Structure 1
Amino acid sequence: MTFISTQTAAPVASALSALSALMSSAVDALTLVSTAAIDYRDLDDGTLLELHRLAARERQLVEAHAAVIAGEIAHRSAPSLGHSGLAQRNGYRTPEELVRVSARSTAREASAAVRVGLQSRDSQLASTPQRPWLVAVSGALVAGSLPVASADAIQSGLGEPALTVSIPMLASTAEQLVAEAATLDPDRLFRRARQLRDELDELGVADRERERRERRSLRFTRQPDGMGRLTWLLDPESAAVAAELYDRATSPRRGGPRFRGELETTAERILADPRTTEQLASDVFLELLRHGAAADDSALLGSGAPSVRVLVTATALASGIGCGRLEGQPDPISIQTVQRLACAGAVMPILFDQGQPLDVGRDQRLFTHRQRIALAARDGGCRFPGCERPPSWTEAHHVKQWVRDGGSTNVADGILLCRHHHLLIHNNGWEITRKGSQYWLVPPPDIDPGQAPILMPSKSSAMRDLARESA
């Protein structure tokens, strides 16, 4: 028989009653908020966006409560407790399964809630937290200012301390990421966390590159209906090769750059093809496999091999210290990989001065192939804020328009934009201005009456490497 002290039980019961009452009141209050579409139909844009912001705030607070509870469930379901743990006593193998079923969430959402909840519990209750560099992340979560997915992105992206990455360094970076999370969705936040970790730990780039290469795989599965499925996981270097071939086959279909000359004829043929984009890509890769299997291995696929651009600063290449970048890929590659790729192919130096590649004058309206290479190295893709289209999906836009403003076709006055944002600039009254090597986006008055300029940062990791060297 178990005896419970009444002196302890009363305050605990009172606290539980208060928590339950508060949460019930919150549910009741949310129930009163209309979900009828007619109530939102006639709202002006500003009010609608403000309600969207408030709804996001509601969701973050709810997620914070759910994560803290999930963390406690996981703590009471620790593997060391075996069948006496909370999850197994209730018929679930793991706390993630209990959370997923009871909350009717996805397995991914439940796993994130448990990971973040356990971290929050540790940060708040442990005298010496296991991951002290994440205290700021847990604080923002429980305050309701950081969604669970964003907290998990920072936690997963930053990783653990290493010989060259101390706990204070990670803590400072975590605080920076919490601040940046206000304008980044979880996927972009994860990539940003990986980027900052790579900048902190250049010596670990080669190890992480090797780990990713070890995870490469190709699986063929026969489906019950006779179809076959290929599941292909590629390391960044291999993915760059496959992506270049995929872009060749499908770019005109996906709003890629406009073409001229012989390429224009090819683009028109691809656009007129009755197959879907996915069918076209499948058939092209199958033909490559067929031709490759029958080809002389000394001339595999002829002279049209994929062209993968490697970006590296001259200092890093000469010294053998630092890292490089594969165009269109977010993660760095080791300087050893850069040197190997440089040895296997031609090297095209691009000289920069004050953040700009060397340019040409107003001899032609369209940007040349070499100018496009320079723009891709500088911009890293579409520079419209929030857009992630790679260089191969972009068009070169004249900052000073060619016809209207007499703009020049030079690299400094060119900027890469995907087709969607290129059309947006021309058709919806947006403007782009340049101050030195910085580009600013000016919204039309109906979007922002004050027309406050918005910085258009480069998406090129190589340019960040160059900026750090120059600092």
Structure 2
Amino acid sequence: MTLAYLCSLRYPHNKTNLADDLRRAADAVALLGSSSADLAALPDAVVLIGQKQIAAARRLLDTRAAWMAATIARRSRPELGHSGLAAQQGFLSPEALIQNWTGSSMGDAYKLVAVGTMMADTEAADKLVEEALSTLSTPDADADADADAVDVADAVDVAAFTAKVPWQAPIARAVTAGTLSVDAAEAIRAGLGQIDAAVTAEKLRVALAVLLTEAPSLNADEVFKRARQMRDRLDQAGITAHEKQAHDDRYLKVYRLSNDNVRLNGLFAPEDGEFVLSTFDSITSPRRGGVRFVDPERAAWAQKMQDDPRSTEQINTDSLVQLPKVAGEADPGRVFGGRRPAVRVIVTEKALTAEPAEPGAAEPAAHGQIQGNPVPISQETIDRVLCDGGCRWVDCDRSPAWTEAHHINDWLTDSGDTNLAEEVLLCHPHHLLLHNQHWKITRTGTQHWLRPPVENDPEQTLIALPSKRVGL
């Protein structure tokens, strides 16, 4: 290590320059306009420049947000107990305080604390180095002292000082200099990991130097992947450990919200996660510019998917519900232990005997609910579920647990929608038969009819579908 190297450790900007940078960035953004209409009127060249100016201003603000997060974390240290800043404000952690006051996610709060703390540690270490430099560069009182002895002593001092500088210091300096975003800094920090027996600080410094030259051309996600690749190359044995950790971290939570909707929240290991992504990519690929099918049937499917009035997210949701049904149909004994999942409806005796409302009359009050869910359901839905208490096909005795909903009004030809009153239950074989052989189900009041295709009955005589009302 040399004095020239130590000098290079100093921050490239002083406090005055950093403040001026922020003011200039804010002024540049303000000049872009004060409304969406102002920005929409800008020419393309100015829009592109403006986006860069906004990114630069945000980066400078994020740097200060990280500094502030580190300050809050330092003043909320565990050893301070209830006198810590976060505890005084009624929060269990500095991250919780930051999340509450900024309206951000907990992940963003952790990121700000992590990067801010890294920057604070680096700044403190650089300050020690700077003080050491001023001491080492002070001329000796004894001008005749042995020069070689002074150089040796200086080298020992330099080694001691540089050992106190964290290997992540270049990340912090890049954020302060405005050449690296807080998001990218956290991606590098998390991707390269920590020092251990196999990966020394020196190895991490070398990898970091390469990564910082590549980072300006990458987004935060790409930076993390690149950093993780570098870490894996440095620690081949760690790949297995990371793989196991990812597998151990997997989870899927299914829970009911306060409004009685049901939410899924999960985390998959890379191998399983990519399979899940591939599954839904296959289902919705026509929506995202997927391959163009030459086969007429596949092309028709792709066109139907593009024309589907549901959003891509709604298609994903409906597909997720359908997949377990298909799995249960294929092998119920293995998937569900011989019992397929079912939804039960609890109704009052009045609901069972209620007559349909006259046209124009007020809707009857709800008399039922889905078992396990307190949300009330309408009389119309009760009629559908109870009357369609199994597969609605003639002479079919499949129970509700083995059925799936069929839209009476077709999605494309009849502008059908997801309306429970316009659906009947059909077992999977009869549902396939209906669509593949072009049978049709219609409804007149509360009576459902089955219309055969011309190939089966040239007169297409309507067949009354029997009620499958079940008693409770």
Letter in 2 for 1:63: D
Aligned residues of 1:61 and 1:143 also touching (Cα < 8 A): no
1:133 match: secondary structure: coil
Cα distance in structure 1, aligned partners of 2:198 and 2:116: 28
Letter in 2 for 1:163: A
Judged with a 3 Å threshold, the aligned counterparts in structure 2 of structure 1 residues 26 and 173 are, in CA distance, closer, same or farther, namely closer
2:194 match: secondary structure: coil
Aligned counterpart, 1:228: 262
Letter in 2 for 1:60: R
Residue-pair matches, total: 284
Does 2:67 match 1:68? yes
Does 2:285 match 1:268? no
Decide which moves more: 143-152 or 126-135.
Answer: 126-135
Aligned counterpart, 2:320: 285
Cα distance in structure 1, aligned partners of 2:293 and 2:218: 33
Judged with a 3 Å threshold, the aligned counterparts in structure 2 of structure 1 residues 43 and 79 are, in CA distance, closer, same or farther, namely same
Does 2:195 match 1:161? yes
Cα distance in structure 2, aligned partners of 1:24 and 1:99: 26
Does 2:203 match 1:204? no
Cα distance in structure 1, aligned partners of 2:197 and 2:15: 44
Aligned residues of 1:141 and 1:147 also touching (Cα < 8 A): yes
1:132 match: secondary structure: coil
Aligned counterpart, 1:253: 287
Cα distance in structure 2, aligned partners of 1:114 and 1:129: 24
Decide which moves more: 139-148 or 119-128.
Answer: 119-128
Letter in 2 for 1:62: L
Cα distance in structure 2, aligned partners of 1:106 and 1:297: 41
Decide which moves more: 22-31 or 133-142.
Answer: 22-31
Does 2:34 match 1:36? yes
Aligned residues of 1:150 and 1:189 also touching (Cα < 8 A): yes
Cα distance in structure 1, aligned partners of 2:169 and 2:17: 29
- How does the TM-score come out when normalised to structure 1? 0.52
Does 2:210 match 1:176? yes
Aligned residues of 1:63 and 1:148 also touching (Cα < 8 A): yes
**How large is the RMSD of aligned CA atoms in angstroms?**
3.5
Aligned residues of 2:66 and 2:113 also touching (Cα < 8 A): yes
Judged with a 3 Å threshold, the aligned counterparts in structure 2 of structure 1 residues 279 and 19 are, in CA distance, closer, same or farther, namely closer
Pick from 166, 171, 186 the counterpart of residue 137 of structure 1: 171
Decide which moves more: 108-117 or 37-46.
Answer: 37-46
Judged with a 3 Å threshold, the aligned counterparts in structure 2 of structure 1 residues 83 and 24 are, in CA distance, closer, same or farther, namely farther
Letter in 2 for 1:146: L
In the TM superposition, 1:49-448 aligns within 5 A as 49-103=48-102, 105-126=104-125, 132-261=166-295, 262-296=297-331
Cα distance in structure 2, aligned partners of 1:272 and 1:100: 41
Aligned residues of 1:57 and 1:145 also touching (Cα < 8 A): no
Aligned residues of 1:252 and 1:271 also touching (Cα < 8 A): yes
Aligned residues of 2:22 and 2:60 also touching (Cα < 8 A): no
Cα distance in structure 2, aligned partners of 1:121 and 1:169: 23
Letter in 1 for 2:65: A
Cα displacement string for residues 215-261 of structure 1 (whole angstroms, at most 9, x for unaligned residues)? 11122212344432222322122223323322332211222111111
2:55 match: secondary structure: helix
Cα distance in structure 1, aligned partners of 2:309 and 2:102: 44
Judged with a 3 Å threshold, the aligned counterparts in structure 2 of structure 1 residues 167 and 220 are, in CA distance, closer, same or farther, namely same
Q: Percent identity?
A: 34
Cα distance in structure 1, aligned partners of 2:38 and 2:307: 44
Letter in 2 for 1:278: E
Judged with a 3 Å threshold, the aligned counterparts in structure 2 of structure 1 residues 83 and 55 are, in CA distance, closer, same or farther, namely same
Judged with a 3 Å threshold, the aligned counterparts in structure 2 of structure 1 residues 219 and 178 are, in CA distance, closer, same or farther, namely same
Letter in 2 for 1:223: L
Cα displacement string for residues 410-452 of structure 1 (whole angstroms, at most 9, x for unaligned residues)? xxxxxxxxxxxxxxxxxxxxxxxxxxxxxxxxxxxxxxxxxxx
Aligned residues of 1:73 and 1:87 also touching (Cα < 8 A): yes
Deviation at 1:151, TM superposition (A): 1.0
Larger radius of gyration: 2
Cα distance in structure 1, aligned partners of 2:258 and 2:22: 48
Aligned residues of 1:122 and 1:130 also touching (Cα < 8 A): no
Aligned residues of 1:96 and 1:110 also touching (Cα < 8 A): yes
2:168 match: secondary structure: helix
Judged with a 3 Å threshold, the aligned counterparts in structure 2 of structure 1 residues 90 and 21 are, in CA distance, closer, same or farther, namely farther
Judged with a 3 Å threshold, the aligned counterparts in structure 2 of structure 1 residues 42 and 159 are, in CA distance, closer, same or farther, namely same
Cα distance in structure 1, aligned partners of 2:271 and 2:18: 53
Aligned residues of 1:132 and 1:171 also touching (Cα < 8 A): no
Deviation at 1:90, TM superposition (A): 4.8
Letter in 1 for 2:185: A
- Structure 2, unmatched stretches of 5+, are 1-13, 126-160, 336-472
Aligned residues of 2:25 and 2:53 also touching (Cα < 8 A): no
